[in-house]
Amino acid sequence: MARYKVSNRNIYGFNTRPLLTFGICIPLIMAFGLAVSFWVAPLFYEGYVAKYTVEEGAPGHASAADTPAASSIADMERLSDGFTFQTTGTVLNYDKVRVGEAIYHFLTLDSGERVIAHINRKALTETGEVGVYRLPVGVWREWDTPEEVQIYTTLADSSHYIDMYGDYIPIVPLEDYSHAMGSRALTWAFVLGLMAFRVVGVRRWRFAPALLASRDPLLPRNDLECWCAATFAIWSHSFTGMEGFPLITGTRGTRKQVKRFRESLAESWGIRSREEGLETVHELTDAWAGALDTAGAGWDLCRATQLLGMMYLVKMITRDELDREFSRAGRVIQRSFSSWDALVESYLSGFGGWVSATGRDGEQEMRFRRGIYEKLKGQHFSAYSIPWNTDISWLPGVSGGGRTVTKQLLRHYMDDYGGIHR
């Protein structure tokens, strides 16, 4: 059996104003990233270099002419402020072991003692003698010998190591720094822009939330809204671009749909204001309130609730006014009919007569809308699985009261279903 879920037609909002999304916003974000890369990044580069440059005389910095030389472990223990000595390129290239991402070298001191050193190779100083280099400033540090080094304990003193790396962090060239900063700025601008676009779009009813779909502001918030949205579900599923039940407006508030609703209200109904709209709704409902013969009531009454949904989408009425008028019209519907089937038969009969009066094929149009009704009825949780006698009373400040039906709706809202559109 088919099940119902939120339409994903525009769940991420990219179908709303694609020119704005792809023709304006994305190029602007790219331009922002380039501006950061070419103009902003160079302003910060000097500070970046200063922050990550090893302080002169600190471990890992290039040794100076007056940096004391050590020739034994005893010298290194004595020269606690730093020392240096020379070694060959052969030692630096071959006498080494990797510990994680770091490389340690085995060095032989003038005393003949073997030690282990972590060396900043970017701070080596040429001595003028081919293949011989003066090492960076170093200090003698105690450490917990890594497992990778423990097997060499017979080859060198592994209780300590020479730290000739210190707090050194490789400084990237300005070109790479600018590119990285521009890319990061572009990424953040895109992420924050997309989040803002989504939040604004959902709040303006233009598309559904990508997450927490049950928080959709156009979903029913009580059983009154849920029941009344069902009364015009056939209409709201009859047009391409409208998502239908359970949206209380039948569709999203995209610019196109809002414009379409405003034009329809004005041209087809003569409704251009809240007062005119409520007057029309009351005319449709009052004519059947207390009537004994309600055979033709369905067409007028379902259009009354439909008009209320349209008026809410174009912001002619507030949510509280919508609920109040939903309750007023809904109670007339409940008193006039005994079931959804009875209401729909009356609605389709009136619709067929209205279509025929326009010169179109009323029977064909009725078959199409009846097909929508039958398909909706066949869904696991649909407009017409809502109990007919649901409490749709309204109280100021309390609104539609109960949420029993609404909670069931939201639990099934993300289940699979096939859309019903032309």
pLDDT at 422: 37
The tokens for 63 are: 């040794």
pLDDT at 419: 40
Encode pLDDT of 321-358 as tens digits: 999 999 999 999 999 999 999 999 999 999 999 998 88
Distant-in-sequence, close-in-space partners of 334: CB < 8 Å, separation ≥ 6: 388, 389, 392
Helix H or strand E encompassing 133 = strand 132-134
Encode pLDDT of 262-283 as tens digits: 999 999 999 999 999 999 999 9
The dihedrals phi and psi of 8, each to the nearest 5 degrees, come to: -100, 20
- Burial (CB < 10 A; 0-12, 13-18, 19+), residue 97, is middle
Encode pLDDT of 46-104 as tens digits: 999 988 899 999 999 999 999 999 999 999 999 999 999 999 998 899 889 999 989 99
The tokens for 152 are: 């060499």
The verdict on pTM exceeding 0.75 is no
**Residues β-bridged to residue 138:** 83
Distant-in-sequence, close-in-space partners of 200: CB < 8 Å, separation ≥ 6: none
The tokens for 225 are: 């809204």
Rounded to whole angstroms, the Cα distance separating 127 from 136 reads 12
Rounded to whole angstroms, the Cα distance separating 333 from 228 reads 10
Sequential DSSP letters for 220-239: -SSHHHHHHHHHTHHHHTSS
pLDDT at 74: 96
Helix H or strand E encompassing 405 = helix 404-411
Q: Is 252 helix (H, G, I), strand (E, B) or coil?
A: coil
Long-range contacts of 286-295 (CB under 8 A, 24+ apart): 288/332, 288/336, 289/332, 289/335, 291/336, 294/336, 294/337, 294/346, 295/346, 295/349
Q: For the stretch 154-181, what's the b/e string if a residue is b when 16 or more beta carbons lie within 10 angstroms of its beta carbon?
A: eebebebbbbbbbebeebeeeeebbeeb
pLDDT at 290: 86
Positions of the chain with pLDDT under 70? 1-23, 397-401, 413-422
- The closest of 90, 116, 93 to 105, measured between CA atoms, is 116
- The closest of 355, 272, 281, 284 to 324, measured between CA atoms, is 281
